[in-house]
Amino acid sequence: MPTRRSPARRPTMKDIARRAGVSESAVSFALNDRPGVSEATRARVRGVAEQLGWRPNTAARALSGEGAATVGFVLARPAHTLGVDSFFLQLVSGIQEVLAERHLGLLFQVARDVSEECAVYRRWWAEHRVDGVLVADPRAEDPRPDLLEELGLPAVVIGGAPGAGHRGASSVWADDAGAMASVVDELTALGHRRIVHIAGLPELAHTRRRIATLRAEADRRGLTEVRSVTTDYSDTEGAAVTRRVLGASPAPTALIYDNDVMAVAGVAAASDLGVEVPRDVSVVSWEDSALCRIVKPRLSALSRDSVEFGSMAARELLSLLDGGPPRAARVPVPRLTARDSTGPARPV
Amino acid sequence: MPTRRSPARRPTMKDIARRAGVSESAVSFALNDRPGVSEATRARVRGVAEQLGWRPNTAARALSGEGAATVGFVLARPAHTLGVDSFFLQLVSGIQEVLAERHLGLLFQVARDVSEECAVYRRWWAEHRVDGVLVADPRAEDPRPDLLEELGLPAVVIGGAPGAGHRGASSVWADDAGAMASVVDELTALGHRRIVHIAGLPELAHTRRRIATLRAEADRRGLTEVRSVTTDYSDTEGAAVTRRVLGASPAPTALIYDNDVMAVAGVAAASDLGVEVPRDVSVVSWEDSALCRIVKPRLSALSRDSVEFGSMAARELLSLLDGGPPRAARVPVPRLTARDSTGPARPV
């Protein structure tokens, strides 16, 4: 067992005072932006503080009411579904980029469900751990905005459409309705009239928006064989639903999957049934990722910039923390990147 | 813009004292495990505290030297490579499960490189933000264990082989050498003599262990056409190296990829060249994931339990925080799950 050296000592205001040749109270005035020292002294003190690597103690700052300098993010998803999701790590990485500029930490937690997520918020709040939170996966019936408002925790709902009742929270949102309409445009232009949308979790708000838009677009065009089926986002359910709908008669000629993993599993399931993509059925993945580009055939997919989505959410939270009003910011509409999995509908 | 209600008030020791009918100092003694109150009073005070949802203020606890109740985890990977990695979210989820039992938070940060990662540790340390850290991706020349020892931050190196110079840090590690030997056993039993290992980043310690083991196993068996090529783990480089090695003459009959994404990209690249898996070339993915199970052909892969890997790392860190000695804990050897991408070597 190696011996430990005694740990390095953190630089204190006393160290800075000694090095700068001023009193400790002058250092305190200078570093806390208070009057009582000249501009020249302030500049010298700050220079020395930077040289020594001095940082305000987070705990002291939190106790003095200046905030925890930390943002919280809870993801309520079962552990085993996390590894396959290409979206969240990119989102977190975008969040980080913005928080890092302000030296804010990201406190991250995985929860089993929304009620456990709410318990985490209550605990973080009671322990003064975070200044605000980012909320993912908004739901049709969502207890979180009310709770966060009650606690007075500033929040940004990621994927929350404007006017969806987020109380005092801001939101960043993607135009799912516009994106769905553009996919239906593209598929009907290729002659597809029988379309099945293999959707994600039915309780999520964006799942409902996509289903409602598909319904409206089909009605507008007089398409009677268009429908949505909800799943748990897993490759297993994606494959099972694919087998079921392709076994029906007449079978759909186009399938829209709510994530990349289900789309890839669906293509494999179709191939097992002797159904070829795109000859017999066209496939669109709602989420674009490396996965869509590396499988054969390469998948046509709705692309968006998930890193930028995260950055935008973090910027909205910073704006709330700076005292700005809650608002809804929209990310660019996801656009369809056509690759090898979409083609003309096979004549009946 | 909705009006905000005034936020809920956090329960204080005064509230508990009033409700329990004791003095504030009795509450403080009871909740801080100090003598001065009877066991009956201690029990009553704790019951009331729980009823009211009282929690110690993290900031106050940190200032009083009781620790930040937070563990840090920095991932030094470029943002755009994060989304495709099936390993890290599962790892984080396993870490969480263990930390949550002790109400410890996970402060998470993405950094561009190891030097930025070191700067994060220095800042966290200076700001008293974390009690200890989990260190990923150990390197052949790694500045981090020395830095963390200098700072006195307890650390667990994830994937760090024992005796690899982690100073006072603990490690959890997988037996890469044993796993590589078992893959070579399997492939040679199928008649493969020309094998290329499409490896990950050359600076990572586990990449070097795998390359050295493959070299030793080939020498032991007198196989002269076995080698490793390093990459950046991306699907792009995985596909490019695959095209290059399959274009050589004689071409390898088996390929071992250091992650799932490169293996899938490699199978697609082979197919573009008219090379069929497993008829013309066998493929093994070092990382098992949903991806390996959903593509066609399904990929033979080395499976390990990444969630458990994370949990084990967190448990080792808790042991260090509780004053235990640094130690090396080994996870079960990854084992080969044979699927449809491996078969007998094609006769020359």
Chain A CB contacts of B151 below 8 Å: 7-8
**Residue of B39 and B35 predicted with greater confidence:** B39
| Predicted confidence (pLDDT) at residue B2 exceeds the cutoff of 50 | no
Q: Which residues does chain A have with pLDDT short of 70?
A: 1-8, 10, 55-66, 78-86, 163-165, 348
> Least CA distance to A86: which residue of chain B?
B83
Question: Which of B212-215's residues contact partners 24+ apart within 8 Å by CB, and which partners?
Answer: B212/B177, B213/B176, B213/B177, B213/B180, B213/B181, B214/B180, B214/B184, B214/B256
**Residue of A313 and B2 predicted with greater confidence:** A313
> Least CA distance to A262: which residue of chain B?
B294
Q: How many CB atoms lie within 10 A of CB B98?
A: 19
How many inter-chain contacts (A to B, CB under 8 Å) are there?
Answer: 223
Chain A CB contacts of B261 below 8 Å: 290-291, 294
Chain A CB contacts of B149 below 8 Å: 2, 4-5
CA distance A174 to chain B (A): 19
**Nearest 10 degrees: Cα torsion B111, B112, B114, B116:** -70
CB B76 within 8 A of CB B135: no
Class of domain B13-55: mainly alpha
Q: How many CB atoms lie within 10 A of CB B123?
A: 16
Do the domains at A70-175+306-330 and A176-304 have one common CATH topology? yes
Q: Quote the distance between the C-alpha of residue B138 and its chain's center.
A: 10
**Residue of B333 and B341 predicted with greater confidence:** B341
pLDDT digits (tens, 9 = 90+) for B147-179: 999 999 999 999 877 766 677 899 999 898 999
Nearest to A55 among B10, B127, B150 (CB): B127
Q: Quote the distance between the C-alpha of residue B40 and its chain's center.
A: 45
> Least CA distance to B119: which residue of chain A?
A53
Cross-chain residue pair B5–A57, CB shorter than 8 Å: no
Chain B CB contacts of A51 below 8 Å: none
Q: What was the pLDDT predicted at B88?
A: 78
If you average pLDDT over every residue of chain B, what do you get?
A: 87
Interface probe with B: pick from A106, A127, A285, most Cβ of B within 10 Å: A127
Residue in the structure block whose two tokens are 């056993």? B185
Cross-chain residue pair A63–B63, CB shorter than 8 Å: yes
What is A176-304's CATH topology? Rossmann fold (3.40.50)
Query: Domain map of chain B by residue range?
Result: 13-55, 70-174+306-330, 176-303
Task: Respond yes or no on whether ipTM tops 0.85.
Answer: no
Q: What was the pLDDT predicted at B214?
A: 97
Tell me the CATH number for domain B176-303: 3.40.50.2300
Cross-chain residue pair A149–B4, CB shorter than 8 Å: yes
Cross-chain residue pair B56–A127, CB shorter than 8 Å: yes
Nearest to B296 among A55, A90, A271 (CB): A271
Query: Which band of pLDDT confidence, cut at 50, 70 and 90, is reported for residue B58?
Result: low
CA distance B318 to chain A (A): 17
pLDDT digits (tens, 9 = 90+) for A219-268: 999 999 999 999 988 889 999 999 999 999 999 999 999 999 899 999 99
Q: What was the pLDDT predicted at B89?
A: 75
In angstroms, the CA A51 to CA A37 distance is: 20
CA distance B83 to chain A (A): 4
**Identity of the residue numbered B324:** G
Q: What was the pLDDT predicted at B5?
A: 46
Nearest to A89 among B82, B125, B291 (CB): B82
pLDDT digits (tens, 9 = 90+) for B104-151: 889 988 888 899 999 999 988 888 889 999 999 999 889 999 999 999
pLDDT digits (tens, 9 = 90+) for B290-326: 889 889 899 999 988 888 999 999 999 999 998 899 9
What the block records as the tokens of B298 is 């399904």
When pLDDT is averaged across residues B11-32 and rounded to a whole number, the result is 84
CA distance A318 to chain B (A): 17
Cross-chain residue pair A291–B293, CB shorter than 8 Å: no
What is A70-175+306-330's CATH topology? Rossmann fold (3.40.50)
CB B212 within 8 A of CB B179: no
pLDDT digits (tens, 9 = 90+) for B191-241: 999 999 999 999 888 899 999 999 999 999 999 999 999 998 888 999 999
Q: What was the pLDDT predicted at A15?
A: 86
pLDDT digits (tens, 9 = 90+) for B71-80: 999 988 765 5
* B70-174+306-330 CATH, one of 3.30.413.10, 3.40.225.10, 3.40.50.2300, 3.40.228.10: 3.40.50.2300
Cross-chain residue pair A90–B109, CB shorter than 8 Å: no
